[in-house]
């Protein structure tokens, strides 16, 4: 077996001075290029797990390796996030003052690219998500589905090997949600990335290579 | 609000600095135009208004070898006379500077080339009026009027012998009266004396004046303002203090604005961190944003400062104040705005850069 894209070894994470155990010595491995669904009730620890796997947080104890790199300290986390991870949030989290294209360019800003290169790449990605015509529109003028498509394009900006999506359809109607998921899968397959999806919706988990169910900070199955 | 706060601070500094430079420059011109080699005055006086040179000291200076001529000068300020129907709305003119000169001495001749009407005065009851003073008093050459409110040396009516115009508006607002008449108001001492020498004797005469009469200081006319600027050091201190206060107010304004901005955009900043931006990049963006706002306020303030000063001088100073807009003044304003922006945004930027992405994204 190849080196897993994500390896979590006995990760423990607590909040409120140890009173709340969000993750309780969780261990898991995720194969590169797979589709992984994480489900579980509210407070079960799935978002905490996603944050740790996404190098947005570190466990109190245990280890996390992302694409072979230990995600342990602030600077390493910044670097891992910039190079290896693309996020799609439930609330899309686009910068309202910017256009769709400018939002897609944000993750590319720390990279040594010219503004022309960034613009070309952003337009190409918006074309992939069928929003090229709205590239110069303010994101405030876009519908919920369009905004999430911009967020997918943004997540793909640096061609990360790992795509993390936290309830990406949570704020969308079922039809738009379905379209967004189709697009997410299409893009994942196109670039060969690993997709880790956190959701309440069991429907969205169909076709998952790995289904992680969380309960009280532990993986239940 | 933050932008306006910085603008007001910078406007205040630009205005005060420009007026201060204007005052100094006009004094420079005044002394240079005297044509004198040396200006002699009281070493310990904090201001020329308090300088006293006695008649005996004048004689001592006059007797120094190489001194060709000495012109004595005194100075007072009076409230303008009420001229009845002749006066605008019957009201007084306000404060008028009165320059006391002996009409037989060389100093009076500097006005010869400045005359726009009449001639130089020769009698004690004659006056030489600045153009602005003549216009405000509504008098012309040949008119007689009670310039001083009381009878001095038996004179109650003064005749306008001539009207002059110089580049200095406060001089144009003034009146040259006979020094003996002015002495009735100021006492027998003089404020300063102008000494004329051959160029090769000037340095020696200056040293001799200071060694023979240590109480007095002798300066070349061109150096006079250097000495005067020393005496005006309190203005620099005042401006520095004002800059500090304006700066602190500006820093607090930027700090408050940027703290609010960071707080309101916590999720946004968390998103940027999640997308791979480092804390240092976030810090840079916030500092640049705060500094940009502050500099925009500074530029606005420079405009306000210029317009405000012009309006102030046009409507309130009545020509006594002159503003001189030097590039250094605007540079001072720009640097103040830059510093305010940097200092005011640094702490909010540090707070923003320390945000943990997961924590920031949870922020409601």
Q: Read off the pLDDT of each residue in B14-20 and give the average, rounded to a whole number.
A: 84
pLDDT of residue B54: 92
Q: Read off the pLDDT of each residue in B31-55 and give the average, rounded to a whole number.
A: 84
Q: Is the CB of B271 less than 8 angstroms away from the CB of A78? A: no
Partner A contacted by B271 (CB < 8 A): yes
pLDDT of residue B92: 42
Is A33 within 8 Å of A189 (Cβ atoms)?
no
Nearest residue of A to residue B276, measured between CA atoms:
A82
DSSP result, A76-99: HHHHHHHHHEEEE-TT----TTSB
Nearest to B362 by CA among A91, A81, A88: A91
Q: What is the pLDDT of residues B319-350, one digit of tens each?
A: 667 788 889 889 988 898 899 899 999 999 99
Higher pLDDT, A48 or B27: A48
Confidence of residue A159 (pLDDT cuts 50, 70, 90): confident
Q: Which of A46, A91, A93, A98 to mutate to test the interface with B (most CBs of B within 10 A)?
A: A93
Confidence of residue B296 (pLDDT cuts 50, 70, 90): very high
Q: Which two tokens stand for residue B159?
A: 């005749």
Q: Is the CB of B271 less than 8 angstroms away from the CB of A110? A: no
Nearest to A81 among B268, B276, B281 (CB): B276
Residue with tokens 């245990």: A62
Q: What is the pLDDT of residues B156-168, one digit of tens each?
A: 889 999 999 987 7
Q: Which of B272, B276, B279 to mutate to test the interface with A (most CBs of A within 10 A)?
A: B276
Q: How many residues does chain B have?
A: 364
pLDDT of residue B83: 57
Q: Read off the pLDDT of each residue in B246-260 and give the average, rounded to a whole number.
A: 88
CA distance A192 to A185: 10
pLDDT of residue A2: 64
B357 min Cα distance to partner chain A (Å): 6
CA distance A143 to A171: 11
Q: Read off the pLDDT of each residue in B84-92 and give the average, rounded to a whole number.
A: 43
Q: What is the pTM of this model?
A: 0.71
CA distance B318 to B135: 12
Partner A contacted by B354 (CB < 8 A): no
CA distance B333 to B303: 11
Q: Read off the pLDDT of each residue in A100-129 and give the average, rounded to a whole number.
A: 92
Give the phi and the psi of residue B264 in degrees, each rounded to 5: -65, -25
Q: What is the pLDDT of residues A68-105, one digit of tens each?
A: 888 887 778 888 998 899 988 888 789 988 999 999 99
Higher pLDDT, B30 or A140: A140
Question: Alpha helices of chain B — where are they, by DSSP H?
Answer: 2-33, 55-62, 131-137, 169-172, 179-186, 202-212, 221-231, 233-264, 266-274, 279-315, 327-353, 357-362
Check whether A56 has a pLDDT greater than 80: yes
pLDDT of residue B133: 87
Higher pLDDT, A176 or A138: A138
Nearest residue of A to residue B358, measured between CA atoms:
A56
Q: Read off the pLDDT of each residue in A163-177 and give the average, rounded to a whole number.
A: 84
Q: Is the CB of A93 less than 8 angstroms away from the CB of B361? A: yes
Confidence of residue B231 (pLDDT cuts 50, 70, 90): low
Check whether B84 has a pLDDT greater than 50: no
CA distance B323 to A57: 60
B14 min Cα distance to partner chain A (Å): 35
CA distance A206 to A35: 10
pLDDT of residue B167: 77
Task: Please list every residue in chain B whose beta carbon sits closer than 8 Å to the beta carbon of residue A81.
Answer: 273-276, 357
Nearest residue of B to residue A86, measured between CA atoms:
B275
Nearest residue of B to residue A89, measured between CA atoms:
B271
| Of the ranges A11-25, B5-19, B223-237, the best mean pLDDT one | A11-25
In this structure, what is the dihedral angle of CA atoms B30, B36, B38, B43, given to the nearest 10 degrees? -40
């Amino acid at each position: 077996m190849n080196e897993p894209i994500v390896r979590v070894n006995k990760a423990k994470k607590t909040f409120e001075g140890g009173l709340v155990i969000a993750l309780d010595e969780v261990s898991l491995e995720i194969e590169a290029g797979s589709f992984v669904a994480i489900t579980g009730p509210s407070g079960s620890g799935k978002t905490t797990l996603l944050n740790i796997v996404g190098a947005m947080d570190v466990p109190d104890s245990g280890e996390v390796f992302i694409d072979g790199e230990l995600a342990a300290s602030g600077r390493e986390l910044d670097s891992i996030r910039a190079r290896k991870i693309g996020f799609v949030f439930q609330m899309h989290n686009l910068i309202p003052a910017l256009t769709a294209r400018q939002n897609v360019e944000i993750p590319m800003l720390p990279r040594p690219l010219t503004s022309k290169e960034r613009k070309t790449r952003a337009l190409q990605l918006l074309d992939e998500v069928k929003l090229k015509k709205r590239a110069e529109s303010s994101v405030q003028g876009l519908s919920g589905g369009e905004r999430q498509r911009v967020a997918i394009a943004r997540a793909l900006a640096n061609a990360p090997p790992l795509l993390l999506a936290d309830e990406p359809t949570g704020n969308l109607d079922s039809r738009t949600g379905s379209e967004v998921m189709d697009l997410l899968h299409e893009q994942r397959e196109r670039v060969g990335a690993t997709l880790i999806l956190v959701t309440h919706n069991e429907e969205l988990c169909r076709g998952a290579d790995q289904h992680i169910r969380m309960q009280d900070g532990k993986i239940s199955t | 609000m933050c932008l306006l706060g910085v603008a007001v601070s910078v406007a205040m500094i630009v205005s005060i600095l420009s007026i201060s430079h204007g005052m100094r420059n006009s004094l420079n011109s005044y002394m240079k135009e005297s044509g004198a080699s040396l200006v002699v005055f009281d070493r310990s006086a904090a201001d020329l208004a308090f300088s006293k040179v006695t008649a005996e000291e004048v004689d001592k200076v006059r007797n120094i070898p190489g001194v060709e001529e000495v012109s004595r000068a005194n100075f007072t300020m009076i409230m303008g006379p009420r001229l009845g129907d002749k006066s605008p709305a019957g009201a007084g003119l306000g404060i008028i500077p009165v320059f006391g000169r002996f009409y037989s001495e060389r100093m009076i001749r500097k006005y010869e080339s400045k005359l726009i009407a009449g001639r130089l005065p020769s009698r004690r009851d004659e006056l030489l009026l600045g153009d602005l003073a003549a216009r405000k008093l509504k008098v012309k050459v040949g008119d007689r009027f009670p310039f001083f409110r009381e009878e001095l040396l038996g004179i109650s009516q003064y005749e306008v012998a001539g009207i002059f115009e110089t580049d200095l508006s406060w001089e144009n607002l003034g009146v040259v009266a006979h020094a003996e008449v002015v002495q009735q108001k100021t006492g027998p001492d003089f404020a300063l004396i102008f000494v004329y020498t051959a160029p090769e004797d000037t340095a020696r005469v200056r040293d001799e004046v200071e060694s023979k009469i240590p109480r007095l200081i002798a300066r070349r006319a061109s150096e006079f303002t250097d000495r005067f600027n020393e005496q005006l050091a309190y203005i620099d201190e005042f401006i520095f203090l004002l800059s500090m206060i304006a700066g602190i107010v500006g820093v607090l304004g930027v700090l408050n604005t940027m703290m609010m901005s960071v707080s309101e955009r916590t999720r946004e900043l968390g998103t940027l961190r999640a997308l791979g931006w480092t804390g240092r990049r976030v810090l840079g963006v916030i500092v640049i944003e705060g500094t940009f706002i502050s500099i925009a306020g500074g530029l606005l303030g420079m405009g306000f400062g210029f317009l405000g000063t012009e309006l102030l001088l046009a409507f309130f100073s009545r020509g006594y104040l002159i503003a001189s807009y030097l590039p250094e003044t605007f540079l001072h304003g720009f640097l103040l705005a830059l510093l305010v922006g940097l200092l005011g945004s640094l702490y909010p930027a540090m707070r923003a850069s320390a945000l943990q992405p997961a924590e920031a994204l949870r922020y409601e």
